[in-house]
Chains A and B, each alone.
Chain A
Amino acid sequence: MIDTTQAFFAQLAERGYEPLLHSVTGTFRWDIEDAGSWFVAVNNGSLTVSRDTVGADCALACSREDFDRMVVGKQNPTTLFMQGKMKITGNLGLAQMFQRLFPDESLFGTAQGKKERQ
């Protein structure tokens, strides 16, 4: 079985640069229940990923199930946060920008729309 969480961060590391984050500089730490922590540094769109557990400008924590649902576009990060299922400490503006690293619409947008209208 493919580990969605690991695969996401591996792909992020390969990506190297994300133009949608061209004006973003900061560090993120994801603490994912039952999966561990990942550290993502963004420097004007350039991405580096590691397993360091050092402090970050913005720390995000949620369950593995919820994280994987975000990764495949079945869960909106903003509403997950609003429901209290994702904890964010530190810079909320940065946290919001991380959404842009989740997969693009064309893969799932319509399916997500359908799901949410049910």
Chain B
Amino acid sequence: MSDRTISVLEGNNFVVSDLRGDIDASPTEPLGLFAWDTRFLSRWLLTVDGQRPNVLSTDDLDYFYVQFFLVPGTGTIYVDADLSIIRKRAVGNGFHEDLTILNHKDQPVELKVRIEAAADFVDLFEVKDKLTKKGECYQRIESDRLVLGYRRETFVRETLITASAKTDIDEHGLSFAVHIEPHGEWTTCLEVVAGLGGLGEYHEEATYGHGDRRARPNVKMSLDKLGEAVPRLSCDWPSLQVTYRRSLIDLAALRFYPMVLPGQALPAAGLPWFMTLFGRDSIITSYQALPFGSRLAVTTLLVLAQRQGTRIDDFRDEEPGKILHEQRFGEMTAFEERPHSPYYGAADVTPLFLILLDEVERWTGNAELVRQLEMEARAALTWIDKYGDRNGDGYVEYDRRNKETGLENQCWKDSWNSIQFADGTISRLPRATCEIQGYVYDAKRRCARLARQLWNDPALAEQLEKEAAELKRRFNQDYWLEDREFFALAIDGDGRKVDSLTSNIGHLLWSGIVEDDKAEAVVRHLMGEKLFSGWGVRTMAEGEGGYNPIGYHVGTVWPHDNSFIAMGLRRYGYREEAAQIAMGMLEAATYFKGRLPEAFAGYPRELTGFPVEYPTACSPQAWASGAPLLLLRAILGLEPVGDHLLVDPALPAMLGQIELLDIPGRWGRVDAFGRGRVDTSAMEDSRQSGKGKDETQ
């Protein structure tokens, strides 16, 4: 989001306004009050005596709460300081705004205060895709409130606006005739409720009440960070603490409360476009956050299990046993103009679901959960072999059933041009991307453990281990590019190896599918100048035909991607390289006040000196917020072993001493300590001088 807007959010409810607190949205701008993928306010303008105020300052220390300090507009650049205007806004089921005007004069004042309000009820998809509405908007004045509504057949959405002070309501807003005594003040509450006609609860009030920042009773929202006590971090390098705190706050902010599991939260993907349940993002974020708390992960698994596919449905790309990709609640989804009710178009999410299930048990010892989800896990395993492997070649490949509104690329790099050859040509569907094979390998190995230890099915365990071993053997043959010495990005519909050098090979290390004698070459590529930008590993290497440092999945650097690569490096014993990636990312975070964006540009570090934000990146984005957490795990070498937590630090020297206290898990709580010894700046210097050498050759 640009600096000229400010976002506050709670769950899938968020307000994007300008720095005055005003909303004046065009149909295609993501400004407004949004809830359940629908814009409930597209206009919310404050005027005092017909003038829009000027902003003095804006304070958004809490993710759901913002204060705007304003002075009346004079139509000139000069500020008239005789009046102060304060707007305090708390978001939740709409929002509550306290509007206060202070009179600093020693004479009384008479003011005309006006709030202009309108709602266009566009679906977020319409904002993105610039579509027009099919139903009708209406306005209605009830005794004490303004109702802005939208109706299409039986589909109804309403915004209810009330004020506590005396007001004249018309169809376009609220007017107040205000008298303020010398040095006195006037205040009104403005309550805006986002109502879903017939859809579950119809909220009659916003989450937050007047004057305070405590949630109203019986509201699931609370100010705790992740719903449990998170480990305490201290570090000689203060920026790490800033980033750590920012990550925890953003993950708390991005919690999404599914209607189907009251009181439980899981990670939504990111603001502003993705405040909803995404299988992949929720799983990955939960995995990243596991050393710091397991609640998000447990809820994620339960909710995804509830909506596991049970049938073949071409429109939704649904298949039995498949884990969902994305769920939406807006009008276009309701009327089946989009398939997100939910949509299942993702080939990697089902194995990732199994990986998370095992990982949760490793950290928490929650055997009951693993037994409860045994049938779903078995269905997911069946999906992998029966539906994931569409042509029976032993690899999971994807092609969409829904050719119109389905996703063409069903891996994490889901933009249209992400899977291309080194010469820049696009590969053909169906595509079997390499990292998905790695996930399948890992999922089968992990499920073998669960089958043996918790499902009492040693035969299944043996079968899965055998299948995994065979997959690893074949994969290392079929995907390996002898001449370039790395793994192909994918095998495409023509059976060709897609030969671009990409970050996907780092995920292969994370999953363990890489044979030991190939790991060194993979690491050499990951840390080489073509992939490693100095901040992190690019999605696609410089020099590939499709490379573009500001291409979404073909050259930018993604923090979550790098956090998994760092874990992969640790898995294969490349401790210093993991530390180098972690340090690059943590240093990059300092340029974003501790909040890593979804992606930033792949320019070489020495070229720009600072990480250049990708133009339309989501921020905060859940798996980017989770990245520093997983990086901390990687450099501290945190690994559950039975009922113990192994700590094996390999820290960048720049961080100095780190203490992470009270890490929760099946061991109770333990502390991890480490001192930085890996000289990442020397590694960076030699990388740069190495580059110089290459260039002169």
Which A residues form the contact surface with B (CB < 8 A)?
A: 19-20, 22-23, 76, 78-79, 81-85, 87-88, 92-93, 96-97, 99-100, 104-106, 109-110, 112-114, 116-117
Contact = CB atoms under 8 A, between A and B. Distances in A.
Given A83-B153, A83-B335, A113-B402, A93 B313 contact: no
Contact of A106 (B154, B259, B262, B312): B312
Contact of B154 (A22, A85, A116): A85
B261 A93 contact: yes
A88 to B, nearest CB: 7
Contacts, number: 84
Nearest to B405: A117
Contacts of B341: 76, 78-79, 82
Interface of B: 153-156, 197-200, 259-262, 306-307, 310-315, 318, 320, 329, 333-336, 339, 341-342, 372, 375, 401-402, 404
A105 B402 contact: no
Given A76-B336, A82-B333, A20 B313 contact: no
Contacts of B402: 113, 117
B390 to A, nearest CB: 16
27 contacts: A19-B375, A20-B310, A76-B313, A76-B336, A78-B341, A78-B342, A79-B334, A79-B336, A79-B341, A82-B199, A83-B154, A84-B197, A84-B199, A92-B262, A93-B259, A93-B260, A96-B307, A104-B310, A105-B310, A105-B312, A105-B318, A106-B312, A109-B312, A112-B315, A113-B402, A114-B314, A116-B315
A84 B154 contact: yes
B199 A113 contact: no
B338 to A, nearest CB: 10
Contacts of A100: 310
Interface centre among A82, A85, A104 (most CB of B within 10 A): A82
A22 B262 CA distance: 21
Given A105-B312, A110-B314, A112-B314, 18 more contacts: A23-B375, A76-B341, A79-B335, A83-B154, A83-B335, A93-B306, A96-B260, A96-B306, A97-B306, A105-B313, A105-B318, A106-B311, A109-B313, A109-B314, A112-B313, A113-B402, A114-B314, A116-B336
Given A22-B375, A112-B315, A83 B334 contact: yes
A110 B316 CA distance: 11
A42 to B, nearest CB: 14
Contacts of B259: 92-93
A99 B404 CA distance: 25
Given A23-B372, A76-B341, A96-B260, A81 B199 contact: yes
Given A22-B375, A83-B154, A117 B312 contact: no
Interface centre among A88, A93, A100 (most CB of B within 10 A): A93
Contacts of B318: 105
A110 B311 CA distance: 10
A79 B311 contact: no
Contacts of A84: 153-156, 197-199
A56 B335 CA distance: 29
Contacts of B404: 117
- Complex A-B, nearest 7 residue pairs according to Cβ-Cβ distance, in ascending order: A113-B314, A105-B311, A82-B334, A93-B260, A109-B312, A84-B154, A105-B312
B61 to A, nearest CB: 34
A12 to B, nearest CB: 16
